[in-house]
Amino acid sequence: MAETHHTDMLIVGAGPAGYTAAIYAARAGMQPLLVTGMQPGGQLTITDEIENFPGFAQPVQGPWLMEQMREQAEHVGTKLLYDLITEASLKQGPDAEGYFHLKGDSGDLFLARTVVIATGAQAKWLGLDSEKKYQGAGVSACATCDGFFYRGKDVAVIGGGNTAVEEALYLTHHASTVHLIHRRDSLKAERILQKRLHDNPKIKVHWNRSVREIIGEGSPAVVTALELTDTQDNTKTERLAVDGVFVAIGHSPSTGPFRHEVLCDEEGYITTQPGTASTSIPGIFAAGDIQDKTYRQAVTAAGTGCMAALEAERYLAEKKYGA
């Protein structure tokens, strides 16, 4: 039977941003309720080793880090519900008692005086079975996260926009050779980025090529090569030896039911007021990759989760609700 949940703070999403917001809110006595969504832990659940999250001298596993955050959030008083928010009535503001109304896939109704949207973003993938097979074993969507593991090795970046070129340039600090694979004969990236790319002797551009297959060997199997197809003559293929593949064809914000409720940019990312986690609606906050298309790091997501919780606490105080 469907239930109705009342809370001073509803957090939607269980990644670094959501868990951090929950930790701060719980310690402030706000008794937050966190709805995990379809993928508790977010993108870090498919991240093998993390070396750049502060506080750990040795690499840690992404799923383990998310489990630690979950346990910490629950330990300080967060209540977790494994549900998915499918409807949100935010535009019209809170009801007479100060509650925003949201509905879960379970049928449960959530009445919240503040809401933190921390549903993240998902990397766009090529859609190959081999790509999924080698995620964490040579296939990545984040050069900043994983580039260090390819020091002195040959890697490939797939894409032709700003993200792909920026990833390729970043990887030159680690890899010996960076192959940029683009299905067209010109890049979509900004001209200044294109100039930096072409001026870098470590980068080799492969025009009019698409990835047909990602090849791996060994036990456990890791990426060893790419099979490329000529996009102008699909009968021509070639093999390119690489140690790692970075897919950089963009991200999709997981805006879901919030897309038409709060102000978003043209790509669907939630717009927040500069230097804050506040959205276009007072009492509604956004944290993590759902509003950050620039950095997309676990540590920055956690930082904005903290900001959202502190701002929500101030909002409640001003409204004289609970906290």
Q: Could you give the CA distance from residue 74 to residue 22 in angstroms, rounded to a whole number?
A: 9
Catalytic site residue 146? Answer: yes
The answer to whether residues 151 and 176 touch, using CB atoms and an 8 Å cutoff, is no
One-character DSSP codes across 17-60? HHHHHHHHHHHTT---EEE--SSTTGGGGG--EE--STT-SS-E
Tell me how many degrees the CA angle 319-271-303 measures, rounded to the nearest 5. 75
Query: Is 306 in the active site?
Result: no
d(CA 5, CA 25): 17
129 given a catalytic annotation: no
Partner residues linked to 89 by β-bridges: 101
Beta 109-117 vs 4-12: how paired, if at all? parallel
Marked catalytic residue, from 146, 243, 289, 292: 146
Catalytic residue among 8, 83, 145, 243: 145
Q: Which of 108, 142, 154, 306 is catalytic?
A: 142
Active-site residue numbers? 142, 145-146
